[in-house]
Structure formats: structure tokens, C-alpha cells
Amino acid sequence: MARKQQIKYLVIYAVLSFLFLSCANQMSPPGGDKDIIPPTIISSYPENGTTFFNENEIELTFSEYVNKRDINDAFFISPLMEKTPEFSWTNTTVEISFKEKFKENTTYNLIIGTEVSDVNNNNKMSDPFILTFSTGNKIDSGKISGKVFADKADGTLIFAYLNKSDTLNIYKTKPDYVSQINKKGEYTIGGLGNGNYELFAVKDEFKDLLYNKGDDKIGIANNYIILSDSSNKVDNINFFLTKEDTLAPTLQAATMTDKNHLIVEFNEPIDSTKLAKENFTIVDSTKNILYNLKSLYKGNPRKNEYVLGVLDSLNIENDFYLIAKNIYDKKQNKLFEESINFTPSDKVDTTAVKISRIIAPLTNNMIYYLSPTFSISFSDAFNKSVYNKGINFYDSDSNTIPIQLTLLDDASIEIKTEQDLKPKKTYKLSVNLNYFPDLTNNKLDTVIVNKINTISSNEFSGASGIVKTNYANVKIVLNSVENKNKIEQRKINPDGKFEFERVMPGNYLLWIFEDSDSNNHYSFGNVDSNKFAETFKFYPDTLDLRPRWPIGDIEIDFNK
């Protein structure tokens, strides 16, 4: 009896030890280096390239334990199947059971996307896993590949539609084939048969395999892709991502900070080149009186705000509305007319105009020495009758440098010297604020002097080369890696040559595009009008532009 009891305890101990060790295997080991290795799929049933596959279950084994729920968003199969399969797990292996039969003589691509992460440290797969198999006697060998060029493009899907060019509605039609980019933005769609394909890159936020305008970012190809027996592999079908905007801007708020300033806020950035004080009117709805605005400027508010100047006194007992007409956003969507209520203020404005900032093309008030241009932004709109007497520019010996002044808005001035300056010299910008009274004549009787330094030609770099192309209107773009807003663009010369001079040192990307609509901007295409994107190509290497060491002899092949 004691012997049996001893054996019983030994069996229980062995079972508990096994269960404990099994559970422990799923946990991160204590201490040691942080786990940064992403999970991968190390085996599959069937194997990649299998033909005559006629079963309803597929098994995939991961290199480590992964978060099981991730598989729901990461699973895709092309051609698409109507019913969602079931997933059942045994340790690191998932069995995928399909609720409908595969089509006969059809090549399938099963994809596990990069949404899958490991249990230990939530490391995501770095590349999508693609399993290609066929229910017939051959694997279709057609292939389309390319790259998505965009920030934060992780998880972007490639939608491919077969022979639907005349009837395609990507708002309602799911793609025939799906792929996903890897961490480098690269993608491949394999196992394709002959036909006419239309491709889109979609950042599918709702994960419904449909394009939702305004929510999803989209990239449009530059043409249809035709696969045939003689040409069944097509490379470099590349995409830029953009978010299509077809909605007009709207008024978000109107706030009077004092009796002379009304801040108006929009829901999105506005095309300021088409914005003027004449686009706005104040309405006293109590007395049925209209008031015109006296000034408009960007100033220092948030990016979607503008400051309107009010000279008339508004009765704080009455109801007021601000009317905005003919306002355009950056995508040229037009707000025809909208009004918004605001509360008038009787607070007296006693603040005089000050210099908000000097905007130089280079850092630390540095400017070019060859015909330089820079600007001054003031804290408030100023009287335009005498301001040109209040700005002077001198060299280090106090000699006056002639300048041209141009109003950018009612509180900003552009300054351009009428002669070249000397490199690596210090100049003085003098602003007498006594010549800058605001709308109610507040002003400061003071002179502000700022030092402006010129940069030496030895501190510049550059890039030049030749583009071999048979496109008609080609533009080349130099993008700073460190500063995304620093962009220079040139038109290719008739002989194919290009040159960027006086470029600040740094790392740059170089790319070219066919400006087919001649608008001097890259056009992303349009879904509703069935307009393809313009063709583009990146130079493969990042340019390390160093002072005094411009890079020349760059060659780019950009042919149809």
C-alpha cells in the first residue's frame, strides 16, 4: 500500500513538473540581453511551391511563441475567399481550417503579415511570410514587385485587381490578390496568371480590404500592368502614399482676444496664397450691420489659425458672426461660404508691435552672400504708410546696403539685398519700431539691431549629373534626410544634365519624375477620375554632401 502511494506521488510530481516547465518555456528568461529577434515561420504544410493540393487545412510553425490574436489581422489569402477560416493552436503551430473548397487549377498565395508579434517582447515579424501553392499541376509564375516610399508605411497592403479596368470600384470591390510590404517598403505579388492588373498601395486602417477615402492613405500606380507568357515578371511598380482630401475646409472657431483682434481657426491648413482680409466679413446680426476687416496675418498662432484686425468698435451687447467666403485648402477644395458665431470684446489693445522672429534660409540668422533674401515676422499688423523708413541694412563699417522690401502679409516683410554681399561677414539689420504703429497707433520708440551673418562658398556642397530619359518633361528633386521640408527641385536640361548648387551639407535623397501635367509638382493620381500617378524613380544611394566636396557625374536611367 505504501509502495503504491509512493508511486502515485511520484507520478503527480512528474506531471506537475512537466506542466511547470511547459509554461515556463513561454516566458522570457530572467535577466540577460533584451529579446530583439522578430519571429519567423520556420515550416509549413504544404511546403512552398506544392502542386495538386486538395486539402482544407494548412499548418504553419513559428520560430517562437507569438500572440495568437495577431493572426486575425495578419492573415490574407489570394485569390480571396468569402469565408473566414478558423485558427487553432498547438504550442507554436497554428492550423488554419478553411470553410470552403479551393478553386480547381488555381494558384494561391497565403500571406502572414508583419502584424504578428512574439510573446516575449512584442517583436513584430520583419517580413511578411508568403506561401504559394496550387490546386492544379502548375504554379502560375507571374510576378509584380516594387516599393512603397513613405514615412510610417508599416503594414501597407498592395491591392491587385485582375481584368477589372472598366468596372473597378475600389470603395466596394475587394482585391483579387493581396500582398504586404516589408520593413524596407518592398513588396512582391507572385503566383499570378496572365492578364491586365491594376495595383494600389493602401494603408488599410479598417482592415476591410476596401479603400476608405479620408481614412486610408493610398498610392496609385503609374499604369496598368500586363502579364503575358513573354513578359510575366514586372519590377519597379512603385508608390508614394497620400491621403486624398475632397472635403472643403470649415471654420472651427472665432475668438476675439481684444477689441481689435479676432483669431479665426480652420479645421485644416489653408492655401494662404489665396487668402486675404476680403475673404472675411463681420456681421452684427442684432443691428444688421456689416463690418470689413482691416488686416490679416499668420503671426504666431497654431498652424490653422489666422489673425484678423478689427478697427470698428463692436457693441458687446449684440450678436456677431464671422462670415468666410472662397477659402481654399492645400488640395484646392473650396469653402464657398460659412459663418460662425463669436463673442465681441471691449478689452483695449495696449500692446505695441514687436519683432517676432527673423526668418533666414539658414540656421542662426545665416544667409547666402549672393543676392540673399530673408524675412521679418512682426507680432501684429502695422500701418503700411511709413514702414519702409524703419528698416535699414548695414555692413560692419556701417555702410548702407540697398534693399528691396516686399509685404508677405499684413505683419511680415521680405527683405532682398540689391547687391551681392561678402562671404563670412557680419551685417546689421536695423528696425526702428517707431515706424511700425499698429491699427490703433500703439508703437515703441526703440531701434532693434540684429546681426546677420553670411556663409562662405566653401561651406556649401552640391550635386550634378545626367539623366538618360525619353520622357518629355522631367523634374529632379533633392530631399534632405534630416529636414523633410527642405526640398529643392530642378528641371532637367534638354541635354539631360542637372545641377544643384549652393546646397547645405547633409544627407540627401535624389529622385526624378515625369511632370506629365506640367504643374511643377508631383501628381499622386486620383481614384475617382481614374487618373494614374506620375512615373518616378529614386537614385539608389543616399548622397552624403560635404562642404567643398560636391558630388558630380551622377547617372540616372529613366526610360519608358
3-class SS letters over 318-350:
CCEEEEEEEEEECCCCEEEEEEEEECCCCCCCC
Mean predicted lDDT score pLDDT of the chain: 93
Which residues are CB-contacts of 493 (< 8 A; sequence separation ≥ 6)?
Answer: none
Q: Tell me how far apart the 2 most distant CA atoms of the chain are, in Å.
A: 114
User: Is the pLDDT assigned to residue 402 strictly greater than 50?
Assistant: yes
Q: Distance (Å, rounded) from C-alpha 535 to C-alpha 428?
A: 47
Percent of the chain with pLDDT over 70: 94
Burial 301-332 (b: 16+ CB within 10 A, else e): eeebbbbbbbeeebeeeeebebebeebbbebe
- Interior angle at CA 183, CA 181 and CA 189, nearest 5: 20
Does 41-240 match 251-342 in CATH topology? yes
Residue 9: pLDDT band (50, 70, 90) is: very low
Tell me which residue has cell 514702414.
Answer: 387
Residue 12: pLDDT band (50, 70, 90) is: very low
What is the dotted CATH code of the domain comprising 41-240? 2.60.40.1220
pLDDT at 32: 62
User: Is the pLDDT assigned to residue 481 strictly greater than 50?
Assistant: yes
Contact 238, 148 (CB under 8 A): yes
Query: What digits encode the pLDDT tens for the residues 37-62?
Result: 999 999 999 999 999 999 999 999 99
User: Is the pLDDT assigned to residue 2 strictly greater than 50?
Assistant: no
* CB neighbour class for 144 (10 Å; exposed up to 12, middle 13-18, buried from 19): buried
Q: Where are the domains of the chain?
A: 41-240, 251-342, 355-457, 460-558
Residue 363: pLDDT band (50, 70, 90) is: confident
* CB neighbour class for 378 (10 Å; exposed up to 12, middle 13-18, buried from 19): buried
What is the dotted CATH code of the domain comprising 251-342? 2.60.40.1220
User: Is the pLDDT assigned to residue 26 strictly greater than 60?
Assistant: no
pLDDT at 178: 96
Query: What digits encode the pLDDT tens for the residues 275-288?
Result: 999 999 999 999 99
User: Is the pLDDT assigned to residue 343 strictly greater than 70?
Assistant: yes
pLDDT at 21: 43
23 membership: H or E segment, kind and range:
helix 2-24
CATH architecture of 460-558: Sandwich (2.60)
Contact 449, 429 (CB under 8 A): yes
What average pLDDT does this structure show over 264-282? 96
CATH architecture of 355-457: Sandwich (2.60)
- DSSP structural state of residue 120: T
**Which grid coordinates belong to 524?**
499622386
Percent of the chain with pLDDT over 90: 88
What average pLDDT does this structure show over 170-182? 96
Higher-pLDDT residue of 543, 24: 543
User: Is the pLDDT assigned to residue 112 strictly greater than 60?
Assistant: yes
CB atoms within 10 A of CB 82: 7
User: Is the pLDDT assigned to residue 7 strictly greater than 90?
Assistant: no
User: Is the pLDDT assigned to residue 64 strictly greater than 80?
Assistant: yes
Query: Does the predicted model carry a pTM greater than 0.85?
Result: no
Q: Distance (Å, rounded) from C-alpha 190 to C-alpha 144?
A: 7
What average pLDDT does this structure show over 480-486? 90
- DSSP structural state of residue 74: H
What average pLDDT does this structure show over 327-344? 97
